[in-house]
Chain A
Amino acid sequence: DAGITQSPRHKVTETGTPVTLRCHQTENHRYMYWYRQDPGHGLRLIHYSYGVKDTDKGEVSDGYSVSRSKTEDFLLTLESATSSQTSVYFCAISVPGQPYEQYFGPGTRLTVT
């Protein structure tokens, strides 16, 4: 196991409310990622981080923000949740010295009503 946990694992929230998802790693790796998974779309990158306070946008970053104040934690925030953000969210880390090789957390299922 890659030592990645995500919390919460399930969440139901209402449209317009802020939501924060947490990813925690025990591996002390530099690179962390947030993806969303939707039927028929595979996984799409939302944001990634290449170090403490260093983040960048991915393919589907609109409506999302991230923060990384410690190496082990990467937070994903939906400032004002919308129904289109109902999805399963996965966090991943990449392995130093192994280009692009990523390991995934168990996921968070988010439902926005």
Chain B
Amino acid sequence: NAGVTQTPKFQVLKTGQSMTLQCAQDMNHNSMYWYRQDPGMGLRLIYYSASEGTTDKGEVPNGYNVSRLNKREFSLRLESAAPSQTSVYFCASSDGSQTRGYTFGSGTRLTVV
């Protein structure tokens, strides 16, 4: 099925560990985004990539790095996880010209203990 695929769906990390969240889309979209969602809050933008080869910081980039590996894939890396990074992470993509919104992955629930 066409869409945005995120892996893993669940992850528990110890403080200080590192990990990479993977995201891939098969809709040939130019733009991809990483958001985090904390309880009682909306989604906040961490990083985005307007096109292959470019990345930009969003509202809450501290503690994260990203890589736009190719047009399909956009990964989010936590170098040294902290309990404050416990959240649900969503990847999304868009082609910029459509009006029907952005396509979201199913999310990764990350717990840092």
Question: Do A and B truly interact?
Answer: no
A-to-B contact residues, CB < 8 Å: none
